[in-house]
A and B are shown apart, each in its own frame.
Chain A
Amino acid sequence: MPQYTTFQPKPYRPRMSAYWYLDQWNYLRYALRESSSFFVAYFAVITLIQIAALKAGPTHYAHFQALMRCPVVIVLNAVALAFILLHAVTWFMLVPRVALRQVLNKPTPDIIASAPNFMVWFGATLIIALFILGVF
């Protein structure tokens, strides 16, 4: 007797929970990492507002500074920073997955392959900070 069914095959549609990303830590980490984009957009808009306030004059810039001192905004900024740091670290750690896999026929440790990224990050942060703080 043949072991196949006589029915026409139906396309397989796995049922997926709307909260599938809570099923495994790896899924949740992926969802959190991708969510960093909302906070990137948020702080880009804040920076646009800051530039507009700067151009509008000292009174408007004082309003912007007062807005940044609101507890709600400070908490939001802290959350945004956490998400964007998650983006930065995961993005830098991508390097060993796409390049620099071998030096002298040995696999490069992930952290060594990512190290140049972290050094550029540190240098860029320092230079921008010195400009913002008015040292240069």
Chain B
Amino acid sequence: MSSAKRSNEPIVWFLFGVGGFVVAYFLPIHIMLYGLAFPLGLAPDPGYGKTYVLLQNPLTRLYLFVLLMFCFFHAAHRMRLTLSDILNMRHLNTVLAFLCYGGAIVGTVAAIWMLAVVH
């Protein structure tokens, strides 16, 4: 039993599955406001000052960390499967896994690094 190879599928599928809900519940409003409504002048942009105060709140940063981590891992798993199954790149599975999950880890570490300390 000790030599049996353990699959990493439960871990990546857990992150993908929970991430699916986090992305669906929380990401659309971020794009609607920061990506469309504020640039187009459809809603009043609170601007640098208020947004920075919001970032100073530890709960905001915890929320952003959870959001970004699940976004990255959800996207990584699905991008890997999209590339291998839909675009027939299964022969590159190891490279794709390395790039996708590696990218998600880099993104998550960057999020921790930026959100850990805000003065």
B positions within 8 Å CB-CB of A: 20-21, 23-36, 38-40, 43-46, 48, 50-52, 54-55, 60, 64, 67-68, 71-72, 74-79, 81-82, 85-88, 103, 107, 110-111, 114-115, 118
Q: What number of A-B contacts does a CB cutoff of 8 Å give? A: 159
Interface residues of A (CB under 8 A from B): 16, 18, 21, 30-31, 34-38, 40-41, 43-48, 50-52, 54-55, 58, 61-62, 65, 68-69, 73-74, 77-78, 80-81, 84-85, 87-88, 91-92, 117, 120-121, 124-125, 128-129, 131-134
Docked Cα-Cα span, A34 to B75, in Å, equals: 9
How far, in whole Å, are A107 and B86 apart by their CA atoms in the complex?
33
Please determine whether A87 and B86 come into contact, CB atoms closer than 8 angstroms.
no
Majority secondary structure, B binding face: helix
B35 and A77 form a contact (CB under 8 A): yes
Instruction: Decide: B21 and A91 in contact? CB cutoff 8 A.
Output: yes
B28 touches A35 (CB 8 A): no
Chain A residues with Cβ below 8 Å from B82 are 31, 34-35, 37-38
